[in-house]
Chain A
Amino acid sequence: QVQLQESGPGLVKPSQTLSLTCTVSGGSISSGDYYWSWIRQPPGKGLEWIGYIYYSGSTYYNPSLKSRVTISVDTSKNQFSLKLSSVTAADTAVYYCVREEDTFDAFDIWGQGTMVTVSS
C-alpha cells in the first residue's frame, strides 16, 4: 500500500528557509487521481493546510502562507518537497505530507509527521 515519509532538518534558525521532502512508496506520484499535500500542526493546536501539488507541477497554496511557500515535485524520485521561507517561532510545528484524493478533497493517506522547531 502507499506510504509517505517526511525527511528534513528538525531545527531551523529564524529568518531561514525550512525545507522538507516527502518520499512516496508503494505507488506512483504521477497517478492522476491525487494531489500531494503539506499540512502542519503547531504543538497543542489544530491542523493547518499549507498547500498541494499535482504531478504535473500545478500548485495551490493557503493564501495566508502563499508569499513564503513553494511546493515542488520530482516524479523521477517519486518525491515532493516543501520550502517555507523567512521562518519564525510561529512556524514551529509537526509537518505532515499527505495524499489528497482529488475528487472529494479528502486527505486519505498521511505520513507520520516530522517535528520542526524554529529556534536560534
Chain B
Amino acid sequence: QSALTQPPSVSGSPGQSVTISCTGTSSDVGSYNRVSWYQQPPGTAPKLMIYEVSNRPSGVPDRFSGSKSGNTASLTISGLQAEDEADYYCSSYISSSTVVFGGGTKLTVL
C-alpha cells in the first residue's frame, strides 16, 4: 500500500485560510468516506481533527473543515491562528481492513 500524497509544506498569515490536500486512488480515498485528519504539534502525539471526511470531534474548532472530491480529500483551516502551526496528516481506510497515512504537511503560520 502506498502512502497518500500530501504537500510537504503550506503557509499562511494569521486570519487567512489554508487548504491541505490528500491525494489517494480509487482504492482508498476515492472508494471510502473513512478519511481522517490529525494535527501534531512538535513533540506531541497526533490529535484527531476530522473524521469521516468532514466531521469534527467534540472540542475541535469549526475553523477546521474537511471535504472530498474524487480521489482527493482536503482539510481547510480558516481564520488561521499561531496555535495552528503543526504537522497535519490524513489517513484513509483501504481494503481488507487496513489503513494508510499521508506523508504529512508542515503548516507554518507566518
Distance between Cα atoms of A95 and B91 in the complex (Å): 17
Interface size on A, residues (CB 8 A): 21
> How many residue-residue contacts, CB under 8 A, span A and B?
60
Main secondary structure of the interface of B (DSSP, over half): strand
- Given the known interface contacts A62-B98, A106-B51, A106-B52, the answer about A47 and B104 at a Cβ–Cβ threshold of 8 Å is yes
Interface size on B, residues (CB 8 A): 25
Nearest CB of A to B30, in Å: 15
Query: Does B61 have its Cβ within 8 Å of any Cβ on chain A?
Result: no
Chain A's closest residue to B6 (CB) is A46
The answer to whether A48 and B45 touch across the interface, beta carbons within 8 angstroms, is: no
For A104, give its contact among B1, B51, B100 (CB under 8 Å).
Answer: B51
For A105, give its contact among B1, B34, B57 (CB under 8 Å).
Answer: B34
Chain A residues proximal to chain B, CB less than 8 Å? 46-49, 60-64, 96, 100-101, 104-108, 110-113
Chain B residues proximal to chain A, CB less than 8 Å? 1, 3, 34, 36, 38, 45-48, 51-52, 55, 57, 89, 91, 93, 96-104
5 pairs across A/B with beta carbons < 8 Å? A46-B89, A47-B104, A49-B91, A106-B51, A113-B45
